[in-house]
Structure 1
Amino acid sequence: MPLLRSVRGDVSFQLDFLRTSFLNYDSTKNDVEKWLPIYFSCTVGNETYSVSPDVNPTLNLFEIKNMLTKFREVIETKKRGEIFNLISISTYEFYYEMELFDPNEDDEIGFVLWIFEATRTNGELSGFERGFRYYVSLETLETFKKEIEQDLLEFL
């Protein structure tokens, strides 16, 4: 279960791959056409914002690889002691958007998660996004990336 937990431990983002009927993976197709069902949630204190089961969210393999590449770039830049510019990661189906920024701390990364409420709640709430900004350690981001990569390997 890949989990990106804040430095303080009170905020987390979870991303899991699911084996459901919405799995659409054909090795002969382009990565943009390979759809993997997911579950995601953000927990802030005692409140959890998770996707409605009616939504059946999926990410395509291109999106997943793009996210992992951007995580890798941030990790490598921080390890070299360099500052990185704002990095944005979006999903095609408007489930969530991530922003990573450099807080000018050696082993920390700023993380902003925007959750598209209309998609998350299957239209029950709409017209706004819910956002959370927190800080993660470099080690935590590395672990999150590795767990996603491992889950992806096992899944495929």
Structure 2
Amino acid sequence: MTEQHRPKGLSSAVSYRDSKAAFRWLEAAFGFEPLFVLLDADGNLAHSEMGYGDSVVMVGNEWSDDHRSPKSIGGKNTQSVHVQLGAGEDIDAHCDRARAAGADIIAAPETQFYGDRTYRAKDPEGHIWTFGVTVEAKTAEEWDAEGGFTTKTRLDN
């Protein structure tokens, strides 16, 4: 195993009751790539990281009252993770793979006004994941006209 050095950027950390099962499931269902696992003296998963493209998701156990799986708090989510597939990837096949692995598909693949085809899924512990792929590159003017929005770089005062 090589040393892990992260470039500047964002990553998500998700907490699970059974992080080992989640780690295996995320690989099988969503195609996330195992980067490394950190096991404690008893063989419990202390920390792990999985890759997808240039992104990383950290998978771990519940470890404080503020770091819980949705399964432990009545299915509630305070955030969701968006995963962008590469240009030309088959999002419908990705959704089928997730469904076959036991994902609860809460929004079937659908092409959005801004040109991406997306779907949403819940994993076995209730985390919400959104997957998207650009199927038609649109300008801000095009998606504003279609969606009834106004796109800007910054908010006005």
TM-score normalised to the size of structure 2? 0.25
Give the helix-richer structure, 1 or 2.
1
TM-score normalised to the size of structure 1? 0.25
Compare CA radii of gyration and give the structure with the larger one. 2
Q: Which has the higher contact order (CA 8 A, sep 6+)?
A: 1
